[in-house]
Structure 1
């Protein structure tokens, strides 16, 4: 692998992609030079602000966009702006130059000619193009330029979409390819996929085929946009934006452009006619209904007769908008209770109704297409799946879905329905290999059509998947599995709705710690799926509270508190590796772990105030402990406590793992952000071993926590009253906030006092129980259970 350090990069082009790529690099700590053209009206001006107006406006628009392209606002300081005329010479100080200008070959080549005047030999030079062959871009350049030139295709938005396609030319030094694959994975947090220099590369080739195939099916089967989006979203493990909403977000003109590009440039594609643009789609583009960028596309936001905003759907036959219609399919209703995606997929594809028929044709076409794309766009099966999961947000890849439905059975059904499969798939089955993937010794193996053998998927040791250790389960219950993940380390994960934490999960964590203390070096707590955990099982809390089973409720809260304290006070290290949502009780678990290894995209916070409760699993207690430790002579003690109080009282949620440090959830110098989500379990395991091998000693429970009593309680009550008077807090918000303040001040003490953690836990539990008896708290919980959002009462 090429040994090089990236300290500073240049991004040439500040449009939507360029500015956001710049933000992502700044977010990982790299200095960025962002350049663009001088506006025409400033070409003769000496005014620096005028000459840099285009690039500065683009950067500001990116920073203000939602979702944010940066982990924390302060990283923007690492970005310096300029223009091609005045500042291009500064690329001589950069280690990597990324070109992101308009998709025109002549403009890109002209810019590269200028870049060669200032670029240091050996500097990386890459293009983010998605529509021009990479090999054509470097024609006419020096040997050193060609050797260090490559395609690096980011997906928009670069912070959130985890795919980075690496597309070398015939002249690219293999060491450069290795470096980019590794750097993208480790530092940028990307799923780096090696792609061939073919039209639309991998993800867009497959993704746009899928959308165009659906456009064909919608006509044949007489279905509507609302039907399709109901069937091609989370139901089958795809994003909420499904098909047509995705087109609106991406831009319908962009979709059409990619489809035309494949049609024009892939004459040997057996499914080429699928990329023909339907007449109705040409009319949509002609009407300039391009999606979000023009205010309407397949969907349009309009005001109803009552003045409320409603979403209208385009009728593809009449090209008129009408109110959205909620589709009703018997198979969809039957699979709603099924949380397991793979089981649900099997049921849906086997269903006899119209939804089942559509999903069969959709999958048969997709499976046929991906089989024929090997080796055209990729030599490896897993690269296609990686690209679709990371670039299009699929929960499982296409070949993996094929495995779920049964490769041999599905091939027979496909052929009977008139769909072909590539010869290598038939050869694979004929040789007795019945799946594309299999797991051995905790490692994922993938079938290799070239050698006709199974090979390990790269990164197996770094990308630990807990469920791959099914043959190493040492204990399980209805919700949890505890695995031996090697090197004398245990791992626990659970599978509940939204990975919520109930009695079975708490029992599992306690058992896992007990087992680890007996025979292992430590424990990793992690989960698979989109989210780590949405927190405690509020449905259980609601049922106990509504039935006034207060003894049972008290027992449940004690169990939660005791489990979190067990996470903190065990004789072996316990490391938590959260990702996605880690809310409420999941956040409390992170607060109590010896170390946290969160994915960069972790959204965490103590959100209980939103449902009329306070953190009752030790979260309130832990914030008091940390406030006590942060108190110092240079600052009034109440300030530190007030900041912690406000974080809980306003139910703040960090929008990244980095932001969680600022909220006091993660600890600087101890907890460690993992850029690539796929590496978090591996990093957590390493942390367990480091803590254990360095002579881990179980900490002692704290009895020296300073609480401020009435001196702080009065100040917090005054603040709560002010928020209520100003209309920021409802009557019930005030009730809950005062309970929180009482606990965080240690109760109605006459003077500052040192107390134990158990003292605070008892106060926390009493307050939580009392709020479970409040009608308005129960109304909020019920609202969350019904709609996912708490009512403001």
Structure 2
């Protein structure tokens, strides 16, 4: 990965002061330390195709790389998986400090990720310094140690290329990466690193000041500690608090204490200790609230470290979830929920919501107001010392702690001066965590006049006393609609560009008058007959006036498939004929996409399931974010793929056989059949490619915000290369003999109790379609022929009572019914 960047060196006197272009390429990365973070950072580098060498100490016995080998093997067992596919673990080059330090000279970036011990890190720096390439960036992955102090062990030649890089755990899934400069770090070094981390690793970068725990952990852990104090004050239980502080509050669904268990209570304790050791009452007026909570001490003494030790604030016994009772020092049944009245309050507009909570008389409402007030208070008091602007704090909390809004965004939305007044009243009444008053800029000057810290001109920097725009590097041009903060006035994709057609189901629009974009507007981007009409209109418009068509709907999911709920009324009124017509129209739409006269590119992010998968596989090309989950899942609702998914499997098997020396079609068909019959979903773009839903020619994009840019570029590239749709042709199928072979395996699974009788029936129908039905092996068939078989199987199942039970169960509860 590289970036184009203006050279900051002035031209010598007498020469034109022209800007020159410099490139920074990361061809290989060294990760020092094969612990939890180091190994997972290495795994993510492999996911995005960056060669990586993982170092650790030489093993005391056996092979010298034993420590790293054990860590790499451990990656295959972790859940959620740090690797796109487990077999890619072999791509991590293994090394130790005794034998392989010379490999550092091959690396453009060195990431140190050993234990959070200043003395250990400094000792390692002295060891590696002579071997680091003269151009390489050296970065420490630390959650809170001083980057400036760490740099002191480095030679003068390396100091300008040294900085902090703070990944959040788990590195593959967490979007936030904090970059921290020292006084000696050259500005272009951070620009280079931000470019690589943004586009190459797919992360959201926030630059933090070199203060204890930086931004997200400083604000987030202080918030967790404050929450624990308020929990004790109001006498609430962990499960009630997690119910209140999860999705209802616009935060991660795991709430407060489940999040602590996932992060690790030992990790949390370490971050708390960093605050305790590096701050005091003079440097942080909230210091008194940083004491390690008694319950956390108790759990650590008992060896209960959270999810990693299978016990923390919660413990799972069989299917039952228990919560820790501090009084009994034992676990009791969990599952208590918050009072519904507060759930209703939290759905109100921000101003009304905060007013109701502040004046609430119940302990749960008072608790909620208290933790929100504490977060506003803490963020305002510390903004100048931890971050450049309020934007950095809000984005760090969104990306690092799963918040829907950062503290300043919520405060601003609820009414800046009114909320500020309430906070100050609580401070003066002694109800707040600290007596520290809100900064003067909260009440006077530009922020008060603007009604908050975020404006179209930029976000508030209390040091320069200005609203400052987002830092823009060349790489950011690849992000047409990046995440931004409330009040920024940033363009929204829903209204951007030129609209050619828009209704309740779809928007057809363009940014450049060269590529048409189709954005689905239905709930979960489900595919209804109206959406199909919109897609067919999109194809006609693109063929007439554009170079290509991109299907991109702005946010997740790509599409969860056919809108079954919208089909039910027609089924009840007209019968199965209505379903057959709807399926036939979907099939026509998919073939129209496949044979369009312009390239059609599906830009996939999140789930592409059922009909969403069929939409993607019938496109000319796919551009998928790393976190794309693709599969034909209709079996879960008692159906078969009915919009060409099974036809695709049969055709791809025939194409794969044609490219090999084998003449037996069945081995090429087996994997596709199994994926559909077992409703397998790729758990990454990498695994989706392995399942055949993405091709080797498709593009994986690490950063979700670059998806539209790359998809449009791909459509243009295909057009410029002289795009022609594939010619329609017949292809061979496995026939009745292939079906008999598959059927025999299904009988064994049914009789062995591995699948139900209804699953057997569905799988048999899938086998019938992908093998071409009652024809001889090798018989050439058309896509339309196989789609007819699909449609017949789909309609047969729609009328089956067990399928209807599955559909109603899924629509009612969202959970699959096993029958």
The alignment's TM-score, normalised by the length of structure 2, stands at 0.87
CA distance in 2, matches of 1:522, 1:409: 50
Which residue number in structure 2 is paired with residue 702 of structure 1?
A: 728
Distance 1:91 1:406, change over 3 A: same
CA distance in 2, matches of 1:430, 1:90: 52
* SS of equivalent residue, structure 1 residue 578: strand
Distance 1:259 1:29, change over 3 A: same
- 2:687 pairs, out of 651, 659, 679, with 659
- 1:433 pairs, out of 442, 450, 467, with 450
* Deviations 1:677-723 (CA, angstroms, capped at 9, x unpaired): 121122112223333444545x3672423334323222222232233
| Contact kept? 2:543, 2:598, Cα under 8 Å | yes
Which residue number in structure 1 is paired with residue 381 of structure 2?
A: 372
Which residue number in structure 2 is paired with residue 150 of structure 1?
A: 163
Which residue number in structure 2 is paired with residue 628 of structure 1?
A: 654
**Unpaired runs of at least 5, structure 2:** 6-21, 482-490
Distance 1:428 1:639, change over 3 A: farther
Distance 1:570 1:329, change over 3 A: farther
Distance 1:369 1:513, change over 3 A: farther
Tell me the CA shift for residue 614 of structure 1: 0.8
Write out aligned runs for 1:384-399 (5 A): 384-399=393-408
Which residue number in structure 2 is paired with residue 785 of structure 1?
A: 811
Tell me the CA shift for residue 604 of structure 1: 0.8
CA distance in 1, matches of 2:277, 2:681: 48
Verify: 1:321 aligned to 2:331, yes or no.
Answer: yes
- 1:64 pairs, out of 65, 77, 95, with 77
Distance 1:580 1:566, change over 3 A: same
Which residue number in structure 2 is paired with residue 470 of structure 1?
A: 495
Distance 1:70 1:279, change over 3 A: closer
* SS of equivalent residue, structure 2 residue 706: helix
| Contact kept? 1:226, 1:324, Cα under 8 Å | yes
Verify: 1:689 aligned to 2:716, yes or no.
Answer: yes
* SS of equivalent residue, structure 2 residue 163: strand
Tell me the CA shift for residue 521 of structure 1: 4.1
Write out aligned runs for 1:92-107 (5 A): 92-107=105-120
Which residue number in structure 2 is paired with residue 274 of structure 1?
A: 289
| Contact kept? 1:542, 1:782, Cα under 8 Å | no
Which residue number in structure 1 is paired with residue 678 of structure 2?
A: 650
* Deviations 1:259-302 (CA, angstroms, capped at 9, x unpaired): 23224423433433332333343333333333123332111223
* Deviations 1:233-282 (CA, angstroms, capped at 9, x unpaired): 12233222211001111122322332232244234334333323333433
CA distance in 2, matches of 1:787, 1:681: 33
Tell me the CA shift for residue 181 of structure 1: 0.5
Verify: 1:549 aligned to 2:575, yes or no.
Answer: yes
* Deviations 1:331-388 (CA, angstroms, capped at 9, x unpaired): 455489x7xxxx7766754556645544333333222322333331111232223322
Which residue number in structure 1 is paired with residue 18 of structure 2?
A: none
* SS of equivalent residue, structure 1 residue 586: helix
* SS of equivalent residue, structure 1 residue 11: strand
Which residue number in structure 1 is paired with residue 42 of structure 2?
A: 22
- 1:525 pairs, out of 532, 541, 551, with 551
Which residue number in structure 2 is paired with residue 637 of structure 1?
A: 665
- 1:180 pairs, out of 168, 182, 193, with 193
Verify: 1:760 aligned to 2:786, yes or no.
Answer: yes
| Contact kept? 1:448, 1:455, Cα under 8 Å | no
Tell me the CA shift for residue 158 of structure 1: 1.3
CA distance in 2, matches of 1:115, 1:81: 16
Distance 1:177 1:646, change over 3 A: same
Which residue number in structure 2 is paired with residue 583 of structure 1?
A: 609
**Unpaired runs of at least 5, structure 1:** 303-307
Which residue number in structure 2 is paired with residue 259 of structure 1?
A: 272
* SS of equivalent residue, structure 1 residue 470: coil
Distance 1:624 1:96, change over 3 A: same
Distance 1:468 1:68, change over 3 A: same
- 1:401 pairs, out of 406, 410, 430, with 410
Verify: 1:739 aligned to 2:781, yes or no.
Answer: no
Tell me the CA shift for residue 126 of structure 1: 1.7
- 1:301 pairs, out of 290, 311, 316, with 316
Which residue number in structure 2 is paired with residue 452 of structure 1?
A: 466
Which residue number in structure 1 is paired with residue 625 of structure 2?
A: 599
| Contact kept? 2:417, 2:451, Cα under 8 Å | yes
Which residue number in structure 1 is paired with residue 441 of structure 2?
A: 424
| Contact kept? 2:549, 2:715, Cα under 8 Å | yes
Which residue number in structure 1 is paired with residue 182 of structure 2?
A: 169
CA distance in 2, matches of 1:519, 1:368: 54
CA distance in 2, matches of 1:516, 1:376: 52
Write out aligned runs for 1:560-579 (5 A): 560-579=586-605
RMSD of aligned residue pairs (Cα, Å): 3.0
Distance 1:376 1:94, change over 3 A: same
Which residue number in structure 1 is paired with residue 94 of structure 2?
A: 81
Tell me the CA shift for residue 481 of structure 1: 4.1
Tell me the CA shift for residue 145 of structure 1: 1.7
| Contact kept? 2:208, 2:388, Cα under 8 Å | no
Verify: 1:120 aligned to 2:133, yes or no.
Answer: yes
CA distance in 1, matches of 2:114, 2:87: 26
Write out aligned runs for 1:191-206 (5 A): 191-206=204-219
* SS of equivalent residue, structure 1 residue 376: helix
Tell me the CA shift for residue 734 of structure 1: 1.4
* SS of equivalent residue, structure 2 residue 699: coil
Tell me the CA shift for residue 231 of structure 1: 1.6
Which residue number in structure 2 is paired with residue 711 of structure 1?
A: 737
* SS of equivalent residue, structure 1 residue 375: helix
Tell me the CA shift for residue 529 of structure 1: 4.5
* Deviations 1:719-755 (CA, angstroms, capped at 9, x unpaired): 3223323433221111111111111222212453333
| Contact kept? 2:125, 2:153, Cα under 8 Å | no
| Contact kept? 1:348, 1:356, Cα under 8 Å | no
In the comparison of the two structures, how many residue pairs are matched? Answer: 770
Which residue number in structure 2 is paired with residue 330 of structure 1?
A: 340
CA distance in 1, matches of 2:627, 2:759: 30
CA distance in 1, matches of 2:232, 2:454: 35
